[in-house]
Amino acid sequence: MNSYAYYNGKFGKREDILIPLSDRSIFFGDSIYDAAIGSYDRIHWESEHVERFLSNAKRLGIKHTFTKNGLSDLLREIAVKSMLESYFLYFQLSRSTPNRVHSAVGASSSLLVTLDPIKIEKSPHPLRLITTEDLRYGYCDIKTVNLLPAVLSATKAEVKGCDEAIFVKNEIVTECTKSNISILIQGRIITHPKSNRILPGIAREHLLAECKSIGVEVIERPFTKEEMMEADEILITSTTKLCRRADMIDGVSVGGKSPALADSLCNLMYEDFANFCIK
Ligand code: PLP
């Protein structure tokens, strides 16, 4: 199965879709994006992904003509054309101006969509993480393509044989490069509150809902690196990972003190996806 793409009305193989220099994502990272997983014409957590995307476009004043239903229909149409059974769907809305000028007055917008094959597995190995200083700016709650600190930190993690990097700002754990992080302590889940320091992850929201459904108390407050290192379990959530345990941070064994609860939360998140796939 091949990757597939779409740009402003043109459909085709990923390598055949070219982006013009008028697209301001190239010079300024002036664009928002979202990412989901799906199967044939169905997109997992579609409504939340499309809503977050449109709300981010509105917050940054990116002009477009999409309604929520119209964009969902288009994404599904592209997914069907891709003929991918199981895919990672990326969609990006960037501003466009004829020249490289900082001001975006009068800019129009461009929609880019890519689909790549993906396989979501049940209970893969626990994650190994590193910590890194959170050097990002004050728009972390908006999913924009300005991802340099995330790129550098994710690279550092991979070079060290790890899966993710955890951002720490003044001893407070915020999130990871492409996932949210929560800790379990004495049967309660603690996670950074929504603010401009973290992306309001859709998987994070589902994890908290699963916790509430099985009577696990949810506490949304900042937690320190020290608390994380001592926590009963560390849980990482994202659209593609769903929910995964971590067992190593900066080369030190962590978690593993409440495996039954951690596993049941991860399983609930996976079952939700498995049910979506067979519907
Ligand atoms: N935090 C960051 C910085 C991310 O980039 C992502 C996903 O890409 C997440 C958290 C997880 O968000 P979601 O659960 O919506 O995939």
Mean pLDDT by 10 residues, the chain (279 residues): 92 95 97 96 97 98 97 97 95 96 96 96 89 97 97 98 98 98 98 98 98 97 98 98 97 98 96 87
pTM for this entry: 0.97
* Ligand 1 in reach of 56 Cβ (< 6 A): no
Q: Are 50 and 71 in contact (CB under 8 A)?
A: yes
Which residue from 90, 176, 178 has its CB within 8 A of the most atoms of ligand 1, so it is best to mutate?
Answer: 178
What pLDDT is recorded for position 278?
A: 79
* Ligand 1 in reach of 179 Cβ (< 6 A): yes
Which residue has the CA at smallest separation from atom 7 of ligand 1? 178
- Please provide residue 219's backbone torsions phi and psi, each rounded to the nearest 5 degrees: -120, 115
Closest CA to 129 of 249, 226, 45, 21: 249
What pLDDT is recorded for position 1?
A: 62
* Ligand 1 in reach of 149 Cβ (< 6 A): no
* Ligand 1 in reach of 269 Cβ (< 6 A): no
What pLDDT is recorded for position 7?
A: 98
Q: Are 233 and 257 in contact (CB under 8 A)?
A: yes
β strands within the chain, DSSP E? 4-7, 10-13, 31-39, 42-43, 87-96, 108-117, 127-133, 164-169, 172-176, 180-185, 188-191, 217-220, 223-224, 233-238, 242-249, 252-253
d(CA 5, CA 10): 8
* Ligand 1 in reach of 197 Cβ (< 6 A): no
Q: Which atom of ligand 1 is nearest to the CA of 198?
A: 1
What pLDDT is recorded for position 78?
A: 97
What CA dihedral angle connects 152, 153, 158 and 164, to 10 degrees?
A: -150
What pLDDT is recorded for position 122?
A: 82
What pLDDT is recorded for position 8?
A: 97
What CA dihedral angle connects 12, 88, 274 and 245, to 10 degrees?
A: 170
Which residue has the CA at smallest separation from atom 8 of ligand 1? 178
d(CA 191, CA 184): 9
